[in-house]
Amino acid sequence: MATHTINDAEFGVVTVRRSALSRHIKLKIDPRGAVVISMPVRAPLFLAKSLLAQSRAQIRTYFAKNNTLRTLLLHGDIIGKTHRLSVTAGQGFTSRLQGTGLHITIPATIEPHEPAAQHFIKQAALKALRTQAKAYLSRRLQTLGDEAHFIFSSVRFSNAGTRWGSCSSTGTISLNIWLMQLPFELIDYVIIHELCHTRHMNHSPAFWQSVENLLPDYRERRKALKLQRPYL
C-alpha cells in the first residue's frame, strides 16, 4: 500500500492511501480525528484533493458534532508521560518540540477548543508521543527482554488504530506510540505480550502460560487494556 500526504491549511495532514483493493475514492475520518482518503493505485492525486475540497462542509460538520465527545487538549495539559502543552495565539499554525515542552501557535482568529485548532494540536501531540515512544519503549522493551531472556530482532513504532502491538515471524516487535498515554503497568503488559510471541506465534495455552509466568496478574491488566482506546 502506497501512502502520500496532503498538507491542508484547515485540516492539517491528510493521509492518502493507494491500494490495489480500492475500487473507488473514499474519504473517512478515523477514530483519532485524522482525515484519510483511500483510492485505487493508479488514480491521480488531484482526485483526492478534489474530493477533499468537495467534502469540506461535511468534515467541518463532523468535527463540530464530535469535538464535544472527545478530549480537548488545552494549554497546560500533559501529553503522554513527559511533554507539557503550551498554546499561544499568533499569525498561523506552528508547532515545536523543545525539551519537555510542546509549543503550539494557532491563529489569533480561532479559539483553542475549535475543531481546526484541536486537529492541529493533536497532530503535533502525535509527534511528542512518537518522541517519547522511541526514548522509553525501546529501553523498556530491551530491559524486559533481557530480564526474561527473550530475543527479538528489532523494534518499530506504529500509529495503528486500536492495535497496541504486534510481533512478526522474523522477531520484529511493533509498538504503538499511543502506549505512552497508558499507565506504566499496561505498557509492560503489552510489551511482555509481544515478547512472548517471539516464542509462541499464537494465543495457545502455552503462550498464555508464558505471559502468566512473568505477569501473574495479566488477566486484570488485559481487562483494563480493553477499556483503553488510542485517543488524545
Render pLDDT for 165-216 as a digit per residue (tens, 0 to 9).
999 999 999 999 999 999 999 999 999 999 999 999 999 999 999 999 999 9
Residues 117 and 137 in one domain: no
Q: What is the pLDDT of residue 174?
A: 95
Residue 139's domain spans which residues? Answer: 130-225
Q: Are residues 122 and 139 in the same domain?
A: no
CATH number for the domain spanning 139: value is: 3.30.2010.10
Could you tell me if residue 230 is inside a domain? Answer: no
Q: What is the pLDDT of residue 224?
A: 92
The answer on 138 and 217 residing in a single domain is: yes
Answer left, alpha or beta for residue 118, where phi above 0 means left and psi between -120 and 50 means alpha: alpha
| In-domain check, residue 22 | yes
Residue-wise over 122-155: b if at least 16 C-beta within 10 A, else e? bbbbbbbbbbbbeebbeebbeebbeeeebebeeb
The per-residue pLDDT for range 67-81, each reduced to its tens digit, is 544 578 889 999 999
138, 114: one domain: no
Is 190 domain-assigned?
yes
In a domain, 211, yes or no: yes
Residues 123 and 148 in one domain: no
Q: Are residues 6 and 62 in the same domain?
A: yes
Residue 25, C-alpha cell as written in the block: 475514492
My answer on whether 134 and 108 are in the same domain is no
Asked if the structure places residue 232 within a domain, the reply is no
Residues 152 and 219 in one domain: yes
Identify whether 231 is part of a domain: no
Do the domain assignments include residue 62?
yes
Number of domains in the chain: 3
Q: In tens digits, what is the pLDDT along the chain, a chain of 232 residues?
A: 678 888 776 777 788 999 988 889 999 987 667 789 999 999 999 999 999 999 998 988 887 776 544 578 889 999 999 999 999 999 889 999 999 999 999 999 988 888 788 889 988 999 999 999 999 999 999 999 999 999 999 999 988 766 899 999 999 999 999 999 999 999 999 999 999 999 999 999 999 999 999 999 999 999 999 888 776 6
**Same domain? 26 vs 84:** no
> From CA 16, how far away is CA 35, in angstroms rounded?
9
Residue 183 lies in a domain: yes
Tell if the pTM clears 0.85, that is, is over it: no
User: Do residues 34 and 107 both lie within one domain?
Assistant: no
Same domain, residue pair 134 and 219: yes
Instruction: Answer yes or no: do 135 and 218 share one domain.
Output: yes
* C-alpha angle 184-125-39 in degrees, rounded to nearest 5: 110
Q: Please say whether the dihedral angle defined by the alpha carbons of residues 158, 188, 181 and 137, taken in this order, is positive or negative.
A: negative
